[in-house]
Structure 1
Amino acid sequence: MTPEKRSFRHAWILDLLRGDPTLVERSMFGCRAAYLDGKLALVLADGEKPWNGLLLPTSREHHAQLREKWRALRPHPVLGKWLWIPEASPSFEDYAAAICREIRSPLIGVEPRGGTRSRKKRHTKKII
């Protein structure tokens, strides 16, 4: 028996990216993540605030330029390096569509961390 997938109210945003052959969708902590060319390009969340809306993975150095272009963007209250548009924002749909049109901007996206983090080697003293 296959578990039933829960509906996701922001699925239409991912539909805007589906023509890209490099698109990979993944679940991420109850959200939906979109990767393009291996980079994490956007995350869609439909949970309780602040986990709702569109999260835009980027670095802090790009915040000013992105916020100038899309005024509704703000730093995410938990993931401060990323920008966020809450779904309750006026024109959320318009902003989401505009971001999808420019998703390949070098200002958008982050390289994912590789697999599991390696643990530091412990240095132990050899007792003679």
Structure 2
Amino acid sequence: MAKEPQELKWIESLLPEGDYRRKAMFGGFIYYIEDKAVLLIFESEGGSRTYKGKKYDFDLWNGCMFPVDKEFQEQALQRCPFLIPHPILPKWLYLPVHTEHFDELATEVLKQVLRPHSFWGSIPKSKLKTKKDPFRGIPDKMDTTRPRMFTDEPAEEVLKRAKKISDLKNLGAESEKHFLKAGIKTPQQFIKLGWKKTLLKLIAMNPKHRHSIYAYALIGALTNREFNLISQAEKDEARSFVQGLAKKEKELKKKALAKNTPKKVTKKKTAKKK
């Protein structure tokens, strides 16, 4: 049974609200707009990297897949060369979650997918001759993974009454586990640390948290807003902070590499006596 998306839940907000359907598929979720499949999301950190004896340098089931019919794949790959045909489902172009700048790239692809008359997406053969479903666009199930008890209350009230990390906006049960591993056990600890120090602790526990989307979620949690509804200024600050961390990491790697690289010893030339 497919588990509710956690790390990639934000991608759903890029789809037109009320106009898509979601169904469980292969342990992940497939998304339809009308009869066209446009997106497949999997979350399987540390899963299989081998298929038919060949080993890949990425998890096979941890990221986003975008279906494209065979005749359009070359065109799609020219526009998005960072995508790769999935080793097992070659009709789907794959973006592994640990791809650098994953969130920006996934957003870029979905913008193209959602354009009118886009060649992206695929209509299953079984749907080609069926009539339109009058209930299309109505979600199969309501998302009950996030607490709604404080949805319309002021942030101060939410933070005051929250007893668990998962009581806060944008933070579900999976996020709560990450917080606990990072040593943040209560909402009060989170509030005291603030989003920047909290993000640093989460990154120290697992580098995959170094994404601007995680920063958005933390800011939203502290202000009782959906991560995609925080202000543009807050988004800019979050992106700048995360990019700064990436630069620092690169600098540290360069210094470490330089320190471990043995220096070449040059022999001094002695002048020959006449």
TM-score by length of 1: 0.77
Q: Equivalents in 1 of 2:103, 2:5: separation in Å?
A: 18
Q: Equivalents in 1 of 2:41, 2:66: separation in Å?
A: 9
Q: How far 1:29 sits from its partner (Å)?
A: 1.4
Which of 55, 61, 69 does residue 51 from structure 1 map onto?
A: 61
Q: Equivalents in 2 of 1:6, 1:34: separation in Å?
A: 13
Q: Report matched runs for 1:17-28 at 5 Å.
A: 17-19=15-17, 21-28=18-25
Among all aligned residue pairs of Structure 1 and Structure 2, give the percentage whose two residues are the same amino acid.
27
Q: How far 1:15 sits from its partner (Å)?
A: 1.3
Per-residue CA shift, 1:36-62, capped at 9, x if unaligned? Answer: 012111101111220111111111221
- Partner of 1:120 in structure 2? none
Q: How far 1:63 sits from its partner (Å)?
A: 1.6
> 2:42 aligned with 1:42, yes or no?
no
CA separation of 1:25 and 1:67: change in aligned 2, threshold 3 A:
same
Q: Report matched runs for 1:91-102 at 5 Å.
A: 91-102=101-112
- Partner of 1:110 in structure 2? 122
> 2:71 aligned with 1:71, yes or no?
no
Aligned with 2:68: secondary structure?
coil
> 2:43 aligned with 1:33, yes or no?
no
- Partner of 1:12 in structure 2? 10
Q: Equivalents in 1 of 2:5, 2:67: separation in Å?
A: 23
Q: Equivalents in 2 of 1:113, 1:73: separation in Å?
A: 25
The code of the aligned residue for 2:6 comes to F
Q: How far 1:18 sits from its partner (Å)?
A: 4.1
Which of 84, 106, 125 does residue 94 from structure 2 map onto?
A: 84
Aligned with 2:7: secondary structure?
coil
With a CA cutoff of 8 Å and minimum separation of 6, indicate the structure with the bigger relative contact order: 1
The code of the aligned residue for 2:12 comes to L
Q: Equivalents in 2 of 1:7, 1:73: separation in Å?
A: 21
Q: 1 or 2, which has the higher helix percentage?
A: 2
Q: How far 1:69 sits from its partner (Å)?
A: 1.2
Length, aligned pairs only: 110
Q: Report if the CA contact (8 A) 2:30-2:39 is conserved.
A: yes
The code of the aligned residue for 1:11 comes to K
Q: Report if the CA contact (8 A) 1:74-1:84 is conserved.
A: yes
Segments of 4+ in structure 1 off by > 4 A? Answer: none
The code of the aligned residue for 2:9 comes to A
Q: Equivalents in 2 of 1:40, 1:108: separation in Å?
A: 9
Q: How far 1:71 sits from its partner (Å)?
A: 1.7
CA separation of 1:79 and 1:7: change in aligned 2, threshold 3 A:
closer
TM-score by length of 2: 0.38
Q: Equivalents in 1 of 2:5, 2:89: separation in Å?
A: 25
